[in-house]
Chains A and B, each alone.
Chain A
C-alpha cells in the first residue's frame, strides 16, 4: 500500500471528509455510512451508491480506509455487506483536515465573516 505524506491528501473532498468522519466512530458497511452521513448533515449530503463506492475505492487505494476483516453480528447481515474501517493513516489525514478547517473558520470569525456566535 502506498502510504504517502498525509499532507498530500489535503484538502479532502466533501464525500471523503464525511466518510472519514463516520468511520472515525467505528466500522460500518457502505449503506450505513451513507445513512449516517445524511443524518449527520441533516439531509444536506445524500450519497448515492456510485458516489459512495467511488470514494471508497479511491480511499482504499490511498489507504485512508480498509476493509474490516470480520463482520459484526453475522446473523443479521446480508452476506453482500462488507465493513470498512479507518486506517491510522486515515486518522492522521482526518485530523490534519479538521485542523485546517478549524483554522479557516477561526480566520473567518476574526474577520467577522461568520455570523453565528462561537458555541458557549
Chain B
C-alpha cells in the first residue's frame, strides 16, 4: 500500500494527512501509513476529552511532536544525500559541529544581508513588532483574566448560587430559602451566604462607609481565607438560623482596610467598632494575599449575616442574598442544577405564595467572574491575530520582492555548490531572524501597550493574576513569533527551492509570473482580512453609537447623586426615618447652587434596583407566580422635576401623600400602557405583590433606563417615601454648574440632620452614564484601533506590491510609451491590474465578514450583524484607500521617460 492510499483513509484524515506530509518523502514512504494510523489512534483517545481545551492540547501534542521529528528527519535526509546513497540508510547521527557550522554560517550570512538593506529589515521588523506586540499585549489580558488559576482551593468545585425566575437569573434569594437549600441540597458540601453592601462606620472621626460583605463562616472557608491576625468566624457566630441579630456581633477586616482605615493598628483585635450603629468586636484581619471573588478584592469588612441591616432580610420572599457553595467531590454542575431544581420544587409546594415559579441558578465561579468579559476578550484576541496575519503577509511580500532581486545571488550560491535545502534553510533562517527581532521589539512594544490598556480598561475586569509579561505570556509570544517567521518565510523559501538555477543565470530581469501571482494573492488575502476587521469594528462602532443615542429618560447633565443608609439600631421606627428624610429634603433644598433636590431609593444607572410582581384591579391572581413584574422605587416630591423626567399625566407627589393618607403611586408610560392600554391610568388601582398593598395611580411619567441603557423598556412604579420609608436612600440634586464642586455641600446638608450619618458614592449622573457605556466603548476603541492598524498595513502592502510591479515593468512601459501610448493609458493599465486584485479581495472579504459578524452578534446593540450601513461603507472606504495606493505607483509609471526606461536594461 502506498502512503497515498493511507492518506485517503482515517477518521481524522485531514490532520493525519497534513502532519504526515511534513516528513521527507523517504521517511514517508517507509512509515507514512503507520504514522497516520498512530495519529488516528491518538485522536481517538478519551483522555483528551471533547472540550476545546482538550482538542487544543491534542493538536499541540501532535503538531509539536511532528514539527520536531519532521525537522530532524529532513536534516537527516539532507545529510544522508550529501554523504551518498550508499550510506543513506545508516542511522548515525550527523556530526554535531557540522550542523552548528551550517547554522552559524547561515546566521552570519543573514546578518550581512540584512545589514546591507537596513530599510528593508527595519520595515519588516517594525511591521512584525506591531503585530506581535499587539498580540502579546492582548494575550496578557486573556492570560490574567481567563487562564490564570483562581486563587482559591479547588476553584472548579466552587459555584455561585442565585435565585431565578422565568428567564431571569442572578436574582437575590431570601435568607430562609438559602437556609432550606443548605439543609436539603445533597450535592453541595458547603454553602456560604454572601451579600455585599455598604456599612456605616461611626465613632472614629468623620462618619465613614466600608464596603462590607454579610457572610457566614462557610463563605470564608469555601474561599480558603486565612486570618493574618486573630481568627475568622466560627460557624455558630454566623448561624442564620439564629435569626436577625441572633449571631455574635463580631467583624473581620480585610488587610487593605486594616492598613488604610486603621493605620495597621497592631491592637485592632478586640477593638469595638460602631457598624451600622451597633457595636461589633473585631476578631480578625484576613491575610494580605486573600482577595474575595465577589468584589474582586474591594471588600473591606466581613460581618455575620445575622448582623444584616434589616430584619426584613429574614423574611421569605425578600431577595437579599446570594450564596457561594462547594460541590461535593465528583459532583458536576449539572447534577447540582438537578438537585436544586428539586429543592426549589419542594419550596414552591410548601410556600406557594412566595416561591411558586422560583428556582435557583448555579453558575461556576469562573463563569460568574468572567462570563461577561470572556467573549469581548476573545473577539479582541481574534482581531489582533488577524492583524498579525496581515503583518505576516506584508513581510512575505517584502521578502518575495527581495527574492526577485536576489535570484542571481541564489543562483550563484547554488552554482558554487549550495544544495537546494541549504538555500531553503538560508531563507528560513533569515525569516526567523527577522521574526525574532520583531518579537523582541514586540515585547518592548507590549510593555508600553499594556500600561496604556490597564490605565484605560473598564473597572469591571476581574483580574486575579497580574497583567504583564509572565512565563505564559512570553511562551505565547515565542510561539507566535516562530509561527510568524515560518508563515511568512515559507513561500519565499519554497520559491527559492523551486528556482531553476540555470535559467536564472541566463535570463535577466524578468519577473516570473508565479512570483507575481503569489504577491497578488498575499495582497488579496490582506485586503480581505482587513475588510473582516473593518466590518467588525464598524459594527461595534455603530452599536456603540446606537447605545449612546439611547435616551435615558432623564437629563444627566448637572445632576449630583449620593447614597446613605440609616443605621436601623438608631432609626428603629418608620416615624424617625420619615422625619430624617423630610428634614434632609429641606436641608438639601437650602444648599445654594442646588436649583432642586429630592430623595429617591434607586438612582437610575447606579446599580440599585428593586422589583416586584403586580396585578391590576379586576385581574385574577395567578397561582403559578406568573404575575407581571415591574421595577419599584420610592421618591419624594420634586424627584421627577429634578431629573427632568416628563410628567405625562396627573400630578407629582405632594403634601397629601402622607403616611396616614391613601396609598398612591406614580407609574411610567410602559406600565400605564401595559396595564390599561387605551384608558387613562389616573385613578386606577395596582396591587403590589409581596407587601400586598393596593395603591392608586395619581400620575404617569416617562420611562427611565434604570439598570443599563441597553435594557428594553420596563414597567416602573414609584411610591412616595413618606408611605414606605426605608433606611436606604439616595440624593439627587440639580446644580447650576459642575455638580462635583458641590459634593461637600451635599454631605454637609445630610450631616446637618445627623452628624454621624455617612454619605457615599457622591458622583455625577453623567459619570454613571459614562460608566454604563465604558465596556462597549473600550471594546469599540480597541477593535477600531486594530482595524485601522490592519488598514494601514494592508494599504502599505498594496502600495508596495504595485510599486514593485511598476518597477519591474519599467521596460514594458517604456516601449509602450515609445510606441505612442498616452499617460492615461499607462495609468489605466497599471491601475486596472491593482483594482482587479482589490475587487476580488473585497468580494471575498465581505463574504467572510458576513460569516464572522455573527460571532459578535452578542455584543451588538440596536443593529443587526448584517447592518447595511457597515457593509456598504467598509468596501467604499477600503476601495478608496486602495485606489490611491494603486494610483500613486501608476502615476509614477506614466512619468517614465521611454529613453531612460529602455536604457535601464
Contacts and interface: CB of A to CB of B under 8 A. Distances in A.
A59 B69 contact: no
A81 interface: yes
B30 A30 contact: no
A49 B38 contact: yes
Of residues B1, B23, B66, B69, which shows the largest number of chain A Cβ atoms within 10 Å of its Cβ?
B69
Contacts of B42: 31, 48-49
A50 B37 contact: no
A5 interface: no
Given A48-B65, A49-B66, A54 B73 contact: yes
A10 to B, nearest CB: 14
Contacts of B9: 80
Interface string B1-41: 10000100100000000010001000100110111111101
Given A49-B62, A57-B30, A31 B69 contact: no
Given A57-B30, A78-B37, A80-B6, A51 B62 contact: no
B68 A53 contact: no
B89 A49 contact: no
Given A48-B61, A62-B91, A80-B6, A53 B72 contact: no
B69 A61 contact: no
Given A57-B27, A57-B31, A61-B89, A48 B36 contact: no
Interface residues of A, number: 26
Given A48-B61, A61-B91, A30 B38 contact: yes
Most buried by B among A2, A50, A53, A60: A50
Contacts of A52: 38
Contact of B34 (A30, A46, A48, A58): A30
B90 interface: yes
Contacts of B30: 57
Contacts of A78: 37
B34 A82 contact: yes
Contacts, number: 77
A79 B65 contact: no
A56 interface: yes
A34 interface: yes
B34 A61 contact: no
A2 B90 contact: yes
Nearest to A53: B31
Interface string A56-99: 11111110000000000000001111100000000000000000
B64 interface: yes
Secondary structure at the B interface, as helix, strand, loop or mixed, is helix
Contacts of A60: 91
Contact of B33 (A56, A61, A80): A80
A59 B90 CA distance: 10
A79 B34 CA distance: 10
A32 B89 CA distance: 25
Interface string A9-35: 000000000000000000001110010
B72 A80 contact: no
Interface string B234-256: 00000000000000000000000
B37 A30 contact: yes
A75 B40 CA distance: 19
Contact of A61 (B1, B31, B37, B90): B90
A49 B35 contact: yes
B64 A48 contact: yes
Given A57-B30, A59-B91, A61-B90, A48 B37 contact: no
Contacts of A49: 19, 34-35, 38-39, 42, 62, 65-66, 69
B762 interface: no
A51 B37 contact: no
B70 interface: yes
A50 B68 contact: yes
A34 B72 contact: no
B66 A48 contact: yes
Nearest to A84: B34
B34 A54 contact: no
A56 B31 CA distance: 10
Residue among B38, B62, B70, B73 with the most chain A CB within 10 A?
Answer: B38
Contacts of A30: 34, 37-38
B590 to A, nearest CB: 76
Given A48-B64, A50-B68, A81 B91 contact: no
Contacts of B89: 61
A56 B425 CA distance: 26
Contacts of A53: 27, 31, 34-35, 38, 69
Contacts of B68: 50-51
Contacts of A46: 61
Contacts of B62: 48-49
A34 B65 CA distance: 13
A50 B69 contact: yes
A34 B64 CA distance: 16
Interface centre among B9, B34, B89, B90 (most CB of A within 10 A): B34
A79 B1 contact: yes
Given A48-B64, A82-B34, 19 more contacts: A30-B37, A46-B61, A48-B42, A48-B65, A48-B69, A49-B35, A49-B42, A49-B65, A50-B23, A50-B68, A50-B69, A50-B70, A59-B91, A61-B90, A62-B91, A79-B1, A80-B9, A80-B36, A82-B33
28 contacts: A2-B90, A29-B34, A46-B61, A47-B65, A48-B61, A48-B65, A48-B69, A49-B19, A49-B35, A49-B38, A49-B62, A50-B23, A50-B65, A51-B65, A51-B69, A53-B27, A53-B38, A54-B69, A56-B31, A57-B30, A60-B91, A61-B90, A62-B91, A80-B1, A80-B36, A80-B37, A81-B34, A82-B33
Interface of A: 2, 29-31, 34, 46-54, 56-62, 78-82
Interface of B: 1, 6, 9, 19, 23, 27, 30-31, 33-39, 41-42, 61-62, 64-66, 68-70, 72-73, 89-91
Return the 7 tightest CB-CB contacts between A and B, nearest first: A48-B65, A50-B69, A61-B91, A58-B91, A49-B38, A80-B37, A80-B33
